[in-house]
Amino acid sequence: MKVYYGIESFEKRNKAVVTTGTFDGVHIGHRTILDRLIEVAKKSKGETVLLTFYPHPRMVLNPDSDLQLINTIEEKTALLEKAGIEHLIIHPFSKEFSRTTSLEFVRDILVNQIGTKKLVIGYDHHFGRNREGSFEHLKEFGPLYGFDVEEIPAQDISDVNVSSTKIRAAILSGDIETANKYLGHEFIITGNVVDGKKLGRELGFPTANLDLENRYKIIPASGVYAVRVNHYGRQYNGMMNIGVRPSLNEEKQSLSIEVNLFDFNEDLYNQTLEVSLVKRIRDEKKFDTKEKLMEELTKDKVIAEKILK
């Protein structure tokens, strides 16, 4: 997959088969659209093009909103590549760009810049200034500018009974299994390993402390999770704790995310880990002594290993 940072860097195609949207989560509902996009492109011997935006439009138009995203832009890019998209355009979203009319969006961007011959969109898709553009507008513009438009029927989308809103609710409640079912893949957390208190090392369970950097990334409910960790192409089983480190009656702190990789004993500082969450094992707990905490962590590991088999 080729990635373009800005529409102006994309070279117009002769047979572009296009879709556009935020695609947060790249969930099974999105896959209905993407699979149809790929199918249409194969039949017409065209090339698939997905136009998305960063930052997320709501982050620009309503910066004080409590928006939480399932994916970082890097995670979304990787998922779209796995889905089979050939060209991904990530265009900067700004207040100025938000004033683009629906006509300007179709004529200047979809047609003149990308070369759209077929447009595939989800049900009830809106675009342009104040979301003024709709499927009805696209049906009018199509004959004028030489492209066909196909809307995925509401029935096809609703049959999978999924939405980004449902997935976010499942993640926030710690119901990772439901979230993964709706996503069609495991929920991912990507972060850089930073220095920590090294308590886990003292207990025989060394942890990598993750700094997520992106403040819009959704974080699951506090607790212990069975996870898989991707480290430079190699996968390790492990367990992750999300919480405020109350385990030994420490004073309440900011949220921490710590992952223990099983059968791993290398320095991870300043490296990036991709963690796939599989199942929540338990709530975060407080323990009176290190011994009781070690006992619980040992039980957690046994449970995690059974889940990850």
The answer to whether the 2-162 and 186-308 domains have the same CATH topology is no
What DSSP string runs through 100-168? Answer: --HHHIIIIIIIIII-EEEEEE-TT--BSGGG-B-HHHHHHHHHHHT-EEEEPPHHHHHTTT--HHHHH
DSSP 3-state assignment of 302?
A: helix
Q: For domain 2-162, which CATH number applies: 3.40.50.620, 3.40.630.30, 2.60.40.10, 3.40.50.150? A: 3.40.50.620
Structure-block tokens of residue 191: 């972060």
pTM for this predicted structure: 0.90
d(CA 100, CA 104) in angstroms, rounded, equals: 6
**Which pLDDT belongs to residue 272?**
93
- Please count the residues of the chain: 309
pLDDT under 70: residue ranges of the chain: 154-161, 197-204, 245-253
pLDDT of residue 63: 85
pLDDT digits (tens, 9 = 90+) for 245-286: 645 555 556 789 999 999 998 889 999 999 999 999 999 988
Q: What residue spans define the domains of the chain?
A: 2-162, 186-308
Give the tens place of pLDDT for each residue, 72-93: 999 999 999 999 999 999 999 9
What is the distance between the alpha carbons of residues 245 and 255, in angstroms, rounded to a whole number? 8
Q: Identify residue 7 by its one-letter amino acid code.
A: I
* 186-308 CATH pick, 2.40.30.30, 2.40.50.1020, 1.10.600.10, 2.40.40.20: 2.40.30.30
